[in-house]
Structure 1
Amino acid sequence: MKADDMWKVSQGQGVVVAVIDSGVNASLPELRGQVLEGADASNKSLNPHQDPDGHGTNMATLIAGTGAGGGIKGLAPKAKILPVRSAAGDWDDPADAILGRSIRYAAGHGARIINISLGGIGLPKQFPLTQAAVQYALKKGSLIFAASGNSGDENNPVELPAAIPGVAAVGAIDSNGKAAKWSTHGDQVALAAAGVDVITHCTESNGLCKSWGTSQATAITSASAALIWSKHPKWTNNQVLRVMMQTASPPAGDVIPSSYLGYGSIRPRKVLLDGEGDPGPADVNPLLAREGATKPDPSASASASKSPSADPKSTPTATDDKKGDKKTVAEPKKNDDNSSTLWIAIGAGIAVLLAAAVAIALVRRRGSASVGL
C-alpha cells in the first residue's frame, strides 16, 4: 500500500473513527492519547476503555495505532478512536437495539467514519432500529463500513448492518489479491481489503498473532478512508466513498460490482499519491446509486485502474486459518481463538430461540493463530 509514502501526505489527523465493538484498551502503548471518551451502548454501562475480549482493541490498533512501545502501527496513526462498546460478553440486549444505539451515538459524537467489524444474522425486518440509525448517521455525514462476514464457505448468510442500503460492506482478500474463500459474498459487498495474515495482538495469549477475517479488512478500509478524508477535509462522506470505489483495483470480468470484491480492493495511494478520483456530487451516495447495476456506474468508476485483480467467478485461494497451517514470525505458541460467536436473543433464551427461529447472531469477525514474540 506504500504506507510510508502515504504518511508523508496524510496520517489521518483531524478524523475521528468510531469503533463499534467490544471496547478499546486505551492503556496499550500504541493507543495512549489516541482514544476518546466513548460510551457503552449496552444496558451494562461498562467502561469503553476496557476490552476483556480484545477484538475492538485490535481493530483500533489497525486503524490508529502509533507503534509506540513496540506496538502495532495502524494505517492512520494520527486519527482518533471513539470507542463504542457493543459486544463484550453476556448480553440481554437485542442485537437490533444495541447496534442502533451504537451507530446513533457514534454519528452524534463527531465520528466521520464508523467501523463496524461485527454483524447480526437475521431478517432485515428484525433490524428496524439499526436501519433507522444508519439513515441518521448518513444524514449526519458519517461514512459507515461494516464487515461482510466470515461464512462465505459455509451457508453464506447475509449479515446486517453490512447489507443495509448505504453501508459499505467490506470483503477480505489475501496477499495475492484473491478473495478469501470464507469472505461472505453477495450484492451487498462494496469494497475489499487485506484480511488474511494481518498482525494483531493475541486475544488469549501474550504477544502478536497472525489473524484473519473481514473484521480486519473493515478496519484497514476505515483507516484508508481516514487518510483520504484528512487530506481532503471538505469532501463529504459520499465523495470519500466515491473516490475509494473509483480507485479500487477492479475485479476481473464484466460484472462490476462483483459478489466477492464489490468495486475492488482498496488503493488509497491512488488518491493520495497519484491524485486520482473524481469526488463528484456531494449529496449522492454512490452505493445507493449503484443498486441493480451490472456494469460500472460512470460516476463510480470513471477513474478506475485496469490492473488485474481477483476473478469473482473463480474459487478463492486464500488460506483459511480454521483449517490451514500458519507461518510464525517467531516462536509459535498455542493457537489464539479461531472464531467467536455471541448469540443474542430478541427477548428470549437460546432454547426459545431454537424453537421460534428468532435468533440473531452478533459475530465478532475474526480468527487468529499465534505468532508470539
Structure 2
Amino acid sequence: MPVFHPTKPLLSLHHLILLTLPMLLLGCMSTPTPMPAEPDTRRFESPEYFAQKALPIVKASSLYARGGTGQGVRVALIDSGLNLELPEFYGRIYDPGYDFVRHQPGVIDVKGHGTQMAGILAANKNDQGIHGIAFNAQLIPMRFGDDREPFYFDSEIAQAWDLAYTKGARIFSNSWANPIEANTNEVPVYERLMGESLSMAKKLVAEGAVFVFSTGNEVKREPLAEPGLPALVPELEKGWIAVMALKNDGTAINLKSNYCGLAARWCIAVPGGDGSAGLLTTSKDSSYGPTAGTSPAAALVSGALAALQSRFPEMTPQQIRERLLSTANRTGIYANSEAYGRGLMDLEAASRL
C-alpha cells in the first residue's frame, strides 16, 4: 500500500493555537479612527472679516474653514432693491431680479436699505471694506414698496416671492415687517391684509422654502406681524425664522430690537449693531457705513443659512434651518427664550459633522 512521506513536519494542535492566537487577537482589535483636525480658521480671520463685527461673534470662520461659504446657493433679497454695479457684488448676482416699483426687470436702489442688507449677506471677499457672511452666495434681488408699509404691497410681495422661487431661491431674506404686533387674536386681520402673500408663503413653505424675518425695532416684548406668523398659521413654522438683534459684542439686546416673544421656538439672536455704531456694510454709493437694528440681523441669518447649505448640500433648506436653530448657544443670558428665542447663533457648532 502507498506510504505517505510528508515533506514538512506536521504541526501539533498546540503549535497551531500559538500561531493562530495573535492573528485572532489582531482581528478583534479595531483600528482607532483618527479624530478630525480642528478647522484652521486663521486664514479666514482677515481685517475684512474683523471689520464686520458680527462674524467673530457667531464664529463664522469655523464654517468657512469647513467649506461653508455659500457657493452655489441662491438667496432672494426682498427689499428696496440693490445697486447692481458695485464691485462688492461682482459675481454675486444670479439674476438682476424684478423692480415692482418701476415694473420692469432689473432693480435699482433709491433708499439704499437693500444694498446695505446685501452687503451683510453676500458682499465679496476681496480685501476691501467688509465681506458678507456668505461671500460666495448668489443673490436674486426684488424691489418693492420703498417708503410705504408692506401691507399696501401684499400682491407685489407675493409675486416677488413666487418669481424668486422660480429662479431657484429657497432662502428668502426679508429685513422688514408690518408695524403691528403678532397677535393670536388677530387672524382675520392678517388674512385680510396679507391675503396673497400669506397664501404664497404657505405654498412655498410646503415646497421646502425658508423665510427669514426681522422681529422689528420697536423695543417691544413681541415681534411684528410676519416674524410671528407661525403662531397663527402653524404649518409655516418648519420654514420660518424670526431674528432679534444683539449689541455688536453679543452681550445683550441692542437699543432697538423687539424680543422673540411668541416666536421663541423659531427665533434666533445675532448681533445687529449698537445705534450709530452699527454693523459696517455696503452703501448704495459704493462707500461703507453702519447699519443697526433687526434688519441687518435678519440678513446675517439669511446668509448663514446659505453658507451652511453649501457646507451640507445633501440637506434640505428646512433641515439646515433646524440645524441652525438647534445648535444655537442657550447658555447664560441666552437661556431666556422670551428674549433670545433658541439662543445665540453659533456657526462653529452648526457646521460640525
Q: 1:161 aligns with which of 222, 226, 247?
A: 226
Residue matched to 1:211: 291
Structure with the bigger percentage of strand: 1
Tell me which protein shows more helix as a share of its residues. 2
In terms of mean alpha carbon deviation, does 123-132 or 227-236 score higher? Answer: 123-132
Letter in 2 for 1:240: I
Number of the residue aligned with 2:190: 124
Amino acid at match of 1:143: V
Cα separation, 1, equivalents of 2:178 and 2:150: 15
- Which residue does the alignment assign to 2:201? 134
CA distance in 2, matches of 1:49, 1:41: 5
- Provide the secondary structure at the position in 1 that maps to 2:291: strand
Alignment partner of 1:26: what SS? coil
- Highest Rg: 1 or 2? 2
CA RMSD of aligned residues (A): 2.6
Match of 1:248 in 2: 328
Aligned twin of 1:70? 128
**Range moving further from structure 2, 101-110 or 64-73:** 64-73
Q: Distance in 2 between matches of 1:157 and 1:136?
A: 26
How many residues matched? 270
Which position in structure 1 is the counterpart of 2:315?
Answer: 235
**Which stretches in structure 1 are left out of the alignment for 5+ residues?**
276-373
Given the superposition, is the C-alpha separation of residues 37 and 51 from structure 1 closer, same or farther in structure 2, using an over 3 Å criterion? same
Distance (whole Å) between structure 1 residues aligned to residue 225 and residue 218 of structure 2: 13
TM-score w.r.t. structure 1 length?
Answer: 0.66
The separation in 2 between residues aligned to 1:195 and 1:5, in whole angstroms, is 20
Point out where structure 2 has 5 or more consecutive residues left out of the alignment. Answer: 1-57, 181-188, 231-236
Displacement of 1:170: 0.6
Preserved CA contact (<8 Å) 2:115 2:283: no
Counterpart among 32, 41, 54 of residue 90 in structure 2:
32
Quote how far apart the aligned CAs of 1:56 are: 0.8
TM-score normalised according to structure 2 size: 0.69
1:106 to 159, 164, 169: 164
Tell me the distance in 1 between the aligned counterparts of 2:202 and 2:150: 25
User: CA shift at 1:49, angstroms?
Assistant: 3.4
Counterpart position of 1:188:
263
- How far residue 65 of structure 1 moved from its aligned partner, in angstroms, is 0.8
- Looking at structure 2, the residues matched to 38 and 236 of structure 1 have their Cα atoms a distance apart, in angstroms, of 25
Per-residue Cα deviation, 1:87-130 (whole angstroms, up to 9, x for no partner): 33579982322222222222222112110001112442321222
Which residue of 2 is the match for residue 201 of structure 1? Answer: 282
Distance in 1, Cα, partners of 2:297 & 2:311: 22
The amino acid across from 1:187 in the alignment is L
- Structure 1 stretch 19-28 or stretch 232-241: which is displaced more? 232-241
Which residue identity lines up with residue 173 of structure 2 in the other structure? N
C-alpha distance 140-75 of structure 1, shift in aligned 2 (>3 A): same
Aligned counterpart, 1:83? 141
1:304 is aligned to: none
Structure 1 69/51 Cα, relative in aligned 2: closer, same or farther at 3 Å? Answer: farther
**Contact 1:36–1:83 at 8 Å: present in 2 too?**
no
Q: Partners of 2:283 and 2:92 in 1: how far apart?
A: 20
Classify the secondary structure of the residue corresponding to 1:124.
Answer: helix
Specify the SS of the correspondent of 1:107.
helix
Please state how far the C-alpha of 1:219 moved relative to its aligned partner.
Answer: 0.8
State the Cα distance separating 1:220 from its structure 2 match: 0.8
2: distance between equivalents of 1:26 and 1:11?
Answer: 21
Aligned: 1:170 with 2:243: yes
Give the equivalent residue in structure 2 for 1:51.
109
Q: Residues 116 and 291 of structure 2 are in contact (CA less than 8 Å); yes or no, is this contact kept in structure 1?
A: no
Q: Do the aligned partners of residues 220 and 129 (structure 1) sit closer, same or farther apart at CA in structure 2, a change above 3 Å counting?
A: same
Provide the rounded CA distance (Å) in 2 between the counterparts of 1:77 and 1:25: 17
Residue pair 1:29, 1:71 contacting (<8 A) in 2 also: no
